[in-house]
Amino acid sequence: MRVPLRLAVPVLAVSLALVSGCAQKGGSDTASSSGTASSSEGETAGETPAAGSSAPASATPAEPFPGDVEPDTETPSGDAQLTVSAVRVAAQDGFDRVVFELGGTGTPGWDVRYVTDPTEPGRGEPVQLEGGAALQVGITGAGYPYDTGVEEFSSPGTLTAAGTAAVTEVDFLATYEGTTTAFVGTRTEAPFRVYLLQDPLRVVVEVAHAG
């Protein structure tokens, strides 16, 4: 049976409206999923910033890395007695990450900066690193293992990770006069940032990939 023209036009308009509405809903769901994925810090799910600190959101490919080459410092809490128990290195999308896990009491501080002549604290011996620059990481508020009850991290050599484009190696030294020192070798003097995470407590250093 032929449908009269005056009825066919409204039916067609309603059908087009329904199709358009479905398409718009699908686009909204995609954007929401993408936003959730980009909020991850890239190490483990459920990481939360330590009290009084906030972890900056990871940069997306369309955004510049949120860091620079200037020294980054933070003051430890007055009751800080902390020992580095683990060190990890990993490549991420657009940057490399070095994580210093700590145990003990209080909140650590840090002094992270590029240096031209890396030397071992206390002894003054030069530290040789692969790459064109050296990022000195000093974690303050540090305590010795006999003060904190936490076994200090040790490694027979420098630490490396597959796929890193900025970090060449990490040389973890030791604790001296309240500061635990490590050197991060980098290919160039690239932008970096530092922040604090908890559960467990970690100082995180990220170095941007070139370009």
* Model confidence pLDDT, tens digit, residues 104-145: 999 999 999 999 999 999 888 999 999 999 999 999 999 999
pTM of the entire predicted model: 0.73
The reported pLDDT for the residue numbered 211 is 72
**Residue 165 domain flag:** yes
CA gap 96, 205 in Å, rounded:
8
The b/e string for 85-104 (b: 16+ C-beta within 10 A; e otherwise) is bebbbebbebbbbbbbbbbb
- Domain boundaries, position 105: 67-208
What one-character-per-residue DSSP string does 9-47 give? HHHHHHHHHHHHHHHHHHHHHHHHHHHHHHT--SSSTT-
Residue 6 pLDDT > 90: no
Residues 145-186: tens digit of each pLDDT: 999 999 999 999 999 999 999 999 999 998 999 999 999 999
Distance separating alpha carbons of residues 1 and 4, to the nearest angstrom: 9
For residue 42, tell me if it sits in a domain. Answer: no
Residue 8 tokens, joined: 């066919």
The verdict on 81 and 148 lying in the same domain is yes
- Domain presence at residue 54: no
Letter for the amino acid at 134? A
pLDDT at site 12:
38
Domain co-membership, 179 together with 106: yes
Q: How far apart are the first and last CA of the chain?
A: 67
Same domain, yes or no: 23 and 121: no
Q: How far apart are CA 29 and CA 31, in angstroms?
A: 6
The Cα-based distances of 205 to 44, 70, 126, 148, 210 in angstroms read 16, 13, 22, 23, 16
Q: Are residues 99 and 26 located together in one domain of the fold?
A: no
At 55, is the pLDDT very low, low, confident or very high (cuts 50, 70, 90)?
Answer: low
Token pair, residue 148, equals 């904190």
- The reply to whether 29 falls in a domain is yes
Decide: helix, strand or coil at residue 146: helix
Q: Find the CATH number of the domain harbouring 86.
A: 2.60.40.3500
Give how many domains the chain has, as a whole number: 2
User: Phi and psi dihedrals of 159, rounded to 5?
Assistant: -100, 140
Amino acid present at 2? R
Same domain, 86 and 175: yes
* One domain, residues 33 and 73: no
Same-domain pairing of 33 and 83: no
| DSSP three-state, residue 66 | coil
Q: For position 64, what pLDDT does the model report?
A: 85
Do 96 and 193 share a domain, yes or no?
Answer: yes
One domain, residues 120 and 76: yes
Would you say residue 46 lies in a domain? Answer: no
Do 159 and 105 reside in the same domain of the chain? yes
